[in-house]
Structure 1
Amino acid sequence: MTLEQRRAWIGLVVAVIGYSVYLVVVLARADGLPLTEVAYAAPLLWTIGAGIVTAIVAEILFAIVNPGASLVRDDRDREIGRLGDHVGQPFMVVGAVAAMLMAMADWAPFWIANVIYLGFVLSAVVGGIAKVVVYRAGVPEW
């Protein structure tokens, strides 16, 4: 497994677990309250920060466990990375546009922050899945 393939897996797993933890925490805090009244900012920031730290620690641990893994990044890796970014990026754009429209319509900050976070997570997950699939199946010929 190359460095970039390992990063794709780590990013995918961390994004799914991190967002799942965030949802569980926020929904548990709701406990019958409307979601707009739930204290969401701290869990959102903590799960994002923990996700970043977890990804870094996971990369370090995998490098320690398998020091002989390829660290070379070739054209195939760059092409797969670009493809994954192109597949995932529209979700960030949709999330940002939705957040902008929500702000213009005076929606609660809870919904605006969460639609942006969901856009980032969907971008990471869909882009990560695309990268993992292409690493397994090969780069498509256009």
Structure 2
Amino acid sequence: MAFEEKQAWALAVIAVVGYAVYLLIVLNGADGRPLTEAPYVGAMLWTIGGGIVAGIVAGIWFGIAARNDGLQSDERDREISRFGDHVGQSFVVIGGVSAMVLAMVEAPYFWIANVLYLSFVLSAVLGSLTRIAAYRRGLQ
């Protein structure tokens, strides 16, 4: 398995686990109140920060392992990475437009922030799954 494929798996898992932790914290924090009144900012910042740190650690770990195995990226790896980035970025755009619409209708900040966070998570997961599929089935 290529270094980039391992990293794609790690980033997909990190994104899903981080968002699941965030949801659990926010839903427990609501404690019967409406979700818009639940404290979410701290949980969001900590899970995003934790995801970034976990992604960096995973990248370093897999990078060291690839270097020890003598593996290097080639043109195929760069094409797959670019393809995964394009798929993932589409969800960032969808999230940005959705957040803009929510702001226009003056939705609570809670929903705007959560739409953006969900779009980043979907971007990471779908971009990673696209890379994994490309490594398994090839680019066509």
Same fold (TM over 0.5): yes
Classify 1:5/1:50 alpha carbon distance in 2 versus 1 (closer, same or farther; 3 Å).
Answer: same
Residue 108, structure 1, aligned to residue 108, structure 2:
yes
Partners of 2:34 and 2:71 lie apart in 1 by: 48
Letter in 2 for 1:53: V
| Identity value in percent | 54
List gaps (5 residues or longer) in structure 2. Answer: none
List gaps (5 residues or longer) in structure 1. Answer: none
Matches within 5 A, 1:4-43: 4-43=4-43
Letter in 1 for 2:15: A
- 1:71 shift after superposition: 4.4
Partners of 2:134 and 2:64 lie apart in 1 by: 26
Classify 1:110/1:89 alpha carbon distance in 2 versus 1 (closer, same or farther; 3 Å).
Answer: same
Contact 1:95 1:115 (8 Å CA) reproduced: yes
> TM-score of the superposition, structure 1-length normalised?
0.90
* Greater share of residues in helix: 2
Letter in 1 for 2:133: V
Contact 2:3 2:66 (8 Å CA) reproduced: no
Contact 2:15 2:121 (8 Å CA) reproduced: yes
Determine helix, strand or coil for the equivalent of 2:39.
coil
Matches within 5 A, 1:1-142: 1-63=1-63, 68-140=68-140
Partners of 1:19 and 1:13 lie apart in 2 by: 10
Partners of 1:83 and 1:65 lie apart in 2 by: 24
Contact 1:3 1:70 (8 Å CA) reproduced: no
Letter in 1 for 2:91: F
Q: Deviations over 1:77-125 (max 9, x none)?
A: 1110111112122111111001011111111000000000001111111
Number of residue-to-residue matches in the alignment: 140
